Amino acid sequence: MYRRMETPMRRLVFAAFAATIALAPAAFAREATPEPQVLENLRKIKLPPGFSISLYAAGLPEARQLARGDKGVLFVGSFDAGSVYAVTERGGKRSVRTILTGLNMPTGIAFRDGALYVAAVNRILLYEDAEDRLDDMPAPKIVYDDLPSSRHHGWKYLTFDREGRLIFGVGAPCNVCDPPRGTAEVRRLDLKSGKAETVARGVRNTVGGDIDQRSGRFWFTENARDWMGDDMPADKLNMIDREGANYGFPFCHQGDTPDPKFSAGRTCGEFVPPVSLLGAHVAPLGMKFYTGAQFPEGYRNSIFIAEHGSWNRSVFSGGRIVRVIASADGKLEKEEVFASGFLQGARSYIGRPADILQDKDGALLVADDYAGAIYRIAYTK
User: For 200-255, what is the HEC assignment?
Assistant: EECCCCCCCEEECCCCCCEEEEECCCCCCCCCCCEEEEEECCCCCEECCCCCEECC
Does 108 have pLDDT greater than 80? Answer: yes
In this prediction, residues 2-8 reach a mean pLDDT of 36
Q: What is the DSSP string of 22-71?
A: HHHHHHHPPPPPPHHHHHHHHTT-B--TTEEEEEEEE--TTEEEEEE-TT
Looking at the predicted structure, is the pLDDT value of residue 261 above 80?
yes
pLDDT at residue 17 in the model: 38
Mean pLDDT of all residues in the chain? Answer: 93
Q: 305 falls in which pLDDT band (50, 70, 90)?
A: very high
pLDDT of residue 191: 98
Q: What is the pLDDT of residue 29?
A: 67
Asked whether the bond before 179 is cis by omega within 30 degrees of 0, the reply is: no
* Domain at 1-30+63-145: CATH code: 2.40.10.500
pLDDT of residue 92: 87
| pLDDT one-digit tens code per residue, 7-62 | 333 333 334 334 333 333 444 567 899 999 999 999 999 999 999 999 999 999 99
Q: Is 151's pLDDT higher than 60?
A: yes
- Locate the domains of the chain by residue range: 1-30+63-145
Structure-derived torsion over alpha carbons of residues 150, 155, 157, 163, reported in degrees to the nearest 10: 20
The proportion of the chain whose per-residue pLDDT surpasses 90, expressed as a percent, equals: 91
SS3 assignment, position 369:
coil
Q: What is the arithmetic mean of pLDDT over 254-278? A: 98
How many other β-carbons are positioned within 10 Å of the β-carbon of residue 273? 16
Q: Is 8 helix (H, G, I), strand (E, B) or coil?
A: helix
Please tell me the distance from the alpha carbon of residue 36 to that of residue 253, in angstroms, as a whole number: 42
Full-model pTM:
0.92
Asked if pLDDT for residue 266 goes beyond 80, the answer is: yes
Question: What radius of gyration, in Å, describes the C-alpha atoms of the chain?
Answer: 20
* pLDDT score of 381: 79
Asked if residue 80 has pLDDT above 90, the reply is yes
* CA–CA gap between residue 138 and residue 126 (Å, rounded): 9
* CB contact at 8 A, 75 and 124: no
The pLDDT of residue 28: 53
